[in-house]
Structure 1
Amino acid sequence: MDPQDPDSFDHRSEKLSTGRIYHFVDQHPEGYDPRRHATLLCVHGFPDFWYGWRYQIGPWVRRGHRVVVPDMLGYGGSDKPENPSEYSAKKLCADLAALLDVLGVPQAVLIGHDWGSHIVGRFALWHPERLLALVMMSVPYTPPSPVYLPVEEVVQRAPNLGYQVYFANPKSSSEIIANLKQFVRLIFRPPGSSPNFTGLGLLEKYVQEPENHEEREYYLDMLGKGMNGPLNYYRTGKFRHDEELGLQSDLRADLPFLFIWGTMDGTATPSVMTKSKKFISRYQDVALEGRGHWIMVDAKDEVTEKIAEWLERLTCGKHSTKL
């Protein structure tokens, strides 16, 4: 498993019981035994795909875990429905549960980053019995809201989320794909350089050479398959709200929980993190000083080790699988 060589990983594609086809990487440890080796299901965010976890997969497998990393719906080799309603959190969680069924895994550790963090948090509400432990990264847990707020009102309260108004507009799909190189440079900017764009004007002005040309080209190739699916995640607010009416807010009381965040990441706001603790009995967090949003790459060794060490300290009570 060479992080610089995507083909060195074990790739699969399967049609799930939900009817959707998912592409995913499925790496087994040496001498894999499902009774002894916990499965880590890693869920990426926007605009990413399985490759965002390239630095973690190998080390976690060598620590004795089976590591499964899908291209989420709309990305890479997975299905790309056009309708935003297909990207609701409940449907994505059903896909992940169906993926575990295909793998023959009754329970797994879920690890999510960015949108993936939100999705795994919702998985803990929709499918609590399928979890051994939960790791959320960069985006804190937020409980279901009894009141629907359009994205425009959300941005009035949290101006740093202004970009979401643009992403929610259907025109952004074609505009971003037409300016994909500039978009990728902007999104994967280093910590501390945070242009608050609400359209494409800043895309044309922002210039930053990528650290690795081959990695950037792979991102351009995968994201070039279409941006409508990835952007549809930002068009699901009303669908998600309607599905979650009456859904519980507290995570399972015995669920081991870890939140990892960079202190220079604007998405990890202190007020939201403080609120999230009210709903999580076994809350733990790790702050990565001076790190931004893309911690799986910018803090790859820290993230890899802290999660691995945390899992090694855990045994999930009544569960037979040792973490």
Structure 2
Amino acid sequence: MPQQPAAPPALDVIHRLVPSPAGRVHLVEQGSGPLVLLVHGFPESWYSWRHQLPVLAAAGYRAVAVDVRGYGRSSRPEGADAYRMRELVEDAAAVVRALGEESAVVVGHDWGSGIAAHSALLRPDVFRAAGLLSVPYAPPGGPRPSDLFAELGGGDAEFYVSYFQEPGRAEAEIEPDVRGWLAGFYAALSADTMPAPDAPDPHFVSRGGTLRDRFPGGRLPGWLGAGDLDVYAGEFERTGMTGALNRYRALDRDWEDLAGHAGAPVRQPSLFIGGALDASTVWMSDAVKAFPDTLPGLVSSHILDGCGHWVQQERPEDVNRLLTEWLAALPAAD
């Protein structure tokens, strides 16, 4: 069962805007000590780390959760090319510099997991360790992403990543009812509300339909109170969805940009936490099995039974314990 209250917690945090290559990054900070940079995924914000910020601060860390480029109060440049992985890595490095630090541990969930892993890969001078939640590290290389995701569909269905590719298409589904769409999306990937195994898979869109057609109806997941949903919906109602969706639209550019790093491992100390019921973890089980080669510095890997995709929100006590234990075992920052 979810381990958090239904109401948003009261956070004694500092909000900042710091310069980045795109203009600015909005971040939320709590505590002092070694820097731990927290990077969210889709469709979230800094707020997805609300349960980790106070715990990390109490454990003696400077916990900083960002709004990724395209989200919240961070800059939202136009065009999908501005959302390539290299750009997001440089945003992360810019936050470390702007906070007056030389290095950081980076922890990410969902797309943030990819940003964390590639930050460690591309900027080992800045990022001394990487924690990955939900999405395991898979080195650059392999087939062109758009070709791969097109194959995952079929005659009667389209994979959601392919559905997100055409500018304006997903926006037309989501933006007329952001709050309702988010509620359904969060529920579809949560352990206590996801569709039954024999129901249509919510990661696919029926031809001529919408992603929302396959979302479960009814109650919110236990980890998501009405106030939490208001926070998320309020941000996307203000910003629109294009900045968030552009990350998906930059995948082929990443494939080109990172070709020189094909097969490259992340060597820094690392951590993986996934949900046993999370499609991101289950579908990428081969990537988890490859960790001895792809994450040679892996300290520990954990699959949480009965947990869906939103691991740090569905199971905050478990994630907080695993994070703080891992952080405490890392070599001290130089």
Same fold (TM over 0.5): yes
* Offset of residue 14 of structure 1: 1.9
Give 1:184-203 correspondences, 5 Å limit.
Answer: 184-189=182-187, 190-191=190-191, 192-193=194-195, 195-198=202-205, 199-200=209-210, 202-203=212-213
Give 1:83-232 correspondences, 5 Å limit.
Answer: 83-145=79-141, 147-150=143-146, 152-157=147-152, 162-170=159-167, 171-189=169-187, 190-191=190-191, 192-193=194-195, 195-198=202-205, 199-200=209-210, 202-203=212-213, 206-210=216-220, 211-224=224-237, 225-232=239-246
- Hey, what's the Cα distance between the residues in 2 that align with 1:155 and 1:277? 30
* Offset of residue 314 of structure 1: 2.3
* Offset of residue 164 of structure 1: 0.9
Matched to 2:151, the amino acid is Q
Aligned residue number for residue 24 of structure 2: 21
- Mark the CA change 1:206 to 1:262 in structure 2 (over 3 Å): closer, same or farther: closer
- Hey, what's the Cα distance between the residues in 1 that align with 2:135 and 2:214? 28
Contact 1:55 1:297 in 2 (8 A): yes
- How many residues in Structure 1 have an aligned counterpart in Structure 2? 307
Aligned residue number for residue 309 of structure 2: 293
TM-score for the superposition, normalised by structure 2: 0.85
Contact 1:24 1:71 in 2 (8 A): yes
TM-score for the superposition, normalised by structure 1: 0.88
- Hey, what's the Cα distance between the residues in 1 that align with 2:301 and 2:215? 36
* Offset of residue 77 of structure 1: 0.5
What secondary structure sits across from 1:14 in the alignment?
strand
Aligned residue number for residue 32 of structure 1: none
- Hey, what's the Cα distance between the residues in 1 that align with 2:141 and 2:47? 32
What secondary structure sits across from 1:165 in the alignment?
helix
Any idea what the Cα deviations from partners look like across 1:122-143, whole Å, max 9, x if unmatched?
1111101212211001001011
Query: What runs of 5+ residues in structure 2 fail to find an aligned partner?
Result: 196-200
Contact 1:124 1:251 in 2 (8 A): no
Match of 1:257 among 262, 270, 275: 270
Identity of matched residues, %: 28
Contact 2:273 2:301 in 1 (8 A): yes
* Offset of residue 201 of structure 1: 6.0
* Offset of residue 287 of structure 1: 1.2
Residues 1:12 and 2:7 aligned together:
no
- Hey, what's the Cα distance between the residues in 1 that align with 2:181 and 2:115? 24
* Offset of residue 158 of structure 1: 7.7
What secondary structure sits across from 2:73 in the alignment?
coil
What secondary structure sits across from 2:306 in the alignment?
coil
- Hey, what's the Cα distance between the residues in 2 that align with 1:63 and 1:275? 32
What secondary structure sits across from 2:252 in the alignment?
helix
- Hey, what's the Cα distance between the residues in 2 that align with 1:97 and 1:26? 16
Cα RMSD, aligned residues only:
2.3
- Mark the CA change 1:207 to 1:313 in structure 2 (over 3 Å): closer, same or farther: same
Aligned residue number for residue 261 of structure 2: 247
- Hey, what's the Cα distance between the residues in 2 that align with 1:145 and 1:264? 27
- Hey, what's the Cα distance between the residues in 2 that align with 1:250 and 1:241? 13
* Offset of residue 312 of structure 1: 1.1
What secondary structure sits across from 2:98 in the alignment?
helix
* Offset of residue 182 of structure 1: 2.7
Aligned residue number for residue 306 of structure 1: 322
Aligned residue number for residue 198 of structure 2: none
What secondary structure sits across from 2:51 in the alignment?
helix
Matched to 1:188, the amino acid is Y
- Hey, what's the Cα distance between the residues in 2 that align with 1:260 and 1:158? 28
- Hey, what's the Cα distance between the residues in 2 that align with 1:289 and 1:161? 29
* Offset of residue 167 of structure 1: 1.4
Contact 1:41 1:111 in 2 (8 A): yes
- Mark the CA change 1:182 to 1:134 in structure 2 (over 3 Å): closer, same or farther: same
Contact 2:277 2:306 in 1 (8 A): yes
- Hey, what's the Cα distance between the residues in 2 that align with 1:101 and 1:297? 28
- Hey, what's the Cα distance between the residues in 1 that align with 2:266 and 2:202? 38
